[in-house]
Amino acid sequence: MINIQEDKLVSAHDAEEFLRFFNSGDEALQQEATTLLTREAHLLDIQAYRAWLEHCVDSEVKYQIISRELRSASERRYQLNETMNIFNENYEQLEVRVAHQLDPQNWGNSPKVRFTRFITNIQAAMDENEDLLHIRSNLIVHRARRGNQVDVFYATREDKWKRGEDGARKLVQRLIDYPERTFQTHNVMVFM
């Protein structure tokens, strides 16, 4: 049996990490994080996916959404994979998804699908050693489709944003440990 979960979670369930990264109270960092996430949400809402990749996403990105199997709280002996990857994408794989979304023969996107993103609970801290901005945020995505199909996605995101050669920060890691075990949403064709 293989383990498909490569990396330890970044900061979600670890008090030590929390204290290290999120108790800084740095208002400038908080503002920088808010601006990054708001601009990114804007590009995704208007489905400017190529601009999103160009301006917001680092070429070394690891973009991951996991789903966690339900286990007994006292489970100790069962050792097989506890999580599976809903997304586990590098930059090229995100490019494929963007091409699929923008393809004129993607019948599901006509009439146009509408997205509205809400970002809350933003916390930011700098990892000085690596010049990485760590951001934790909560996200709601509202998707309106066809006459009466409405789906809502709720998630906590753990990001790392890296400064690129042009000086702008870009997303280099995003991890979402999706809270609902069974998606109620027909599919997960959405960038969170």
Partner 1 sequence: MNYKNKNLVSESGLTQKHLIHGDEELFQRELETIFARNWLFLTHDSLIPSPGDYVTAKMGVDEVIVSRQNDGSIRAFLNVCRHRGKTLVHAEAGNAKGFVCSYHGWGFGFNGELQSVPFEKELYGEALDKKCMGLKEVARVESFHGFIYGCFDEEAPSLIDYLGDAGWYLEPMHKHSGGLELIGPPGKVIIKANWKAPAENFVGDAYHVGWTHASSLRSGQSVFSSLAGNAALPPEGAGLQMTSKYGSGMGVLWDGYSGVHSADLVPELMAFGGAKQERLNKEIGEVRARIYRSHLNGTVFPNNSFLTCSGVFKVWHPIDANTTEVWTYAMVEKDMPEDLKRRLVDAVQRTFGPAGFWESDDNDNMETESQNAKKYQSRDGDLVSNLGFGGDVYGDEVYPGVVGKSAIGETSYRGFYRAYGAHISSSSWAEFEDASKNWHTELTKTTDR
Binding residues (CB under 8 A) for partner 1: these are: 1-2, 4, 65, 67-72, 75, 77-78, 80-89, 92-93, 96-97, 99-100, 103, 105-108, 181-189
Cβ closer to partner 1: 110 or 129?
Answer: 110
* Residue 178 beta carbon to partner 1: minimum distance, rounded to whole angstroms: 9
- Which CB atom, from 55 or from 97, has the smaller least distance to partner 1? 97
Question: What's the rounded Cα separation, in Å, for the pair 93 and 85?
Answer: 14
CB of residue 47 vs partner 1: minimum separation in angstroms?
A: 14
Give the Cα separation of 164 and 186 in Å (integer): 36
- Least CB distance to partner 1 at residue 6 (A): 8
Instruction: Please identify, using beta-carbon distances, which residue of 15 and 70 lies nearer to partner 1.
Output: 70
**What is the distance between the alpha carbons of residues 65 and 83, in angstroms, rounded to a whole number?**
10
* Residue among 21 and 87 whose Cβ is closer to partner 1: 87
Name which of 84, 40, 56 is nearest 166 in CA terms: 56
Least distance to partner 1, CB of residue 145, Å: 10
* 13 half-sphere exposure, CB direction, 13 A CA radius: 5
Whether the CB-CB separation of 158 and 21 falls below 8 Å is answered with: no
* Locus of tokens 């586990």: 88
Residue 157: count other Cβ atoms within 10 Å of its Cβ.
21
Minimum distance between the CB of residue 79 and partner 1, rounded to whole angstroms? 8
Nearer to partner 1, 39 or 71 (CB): 71
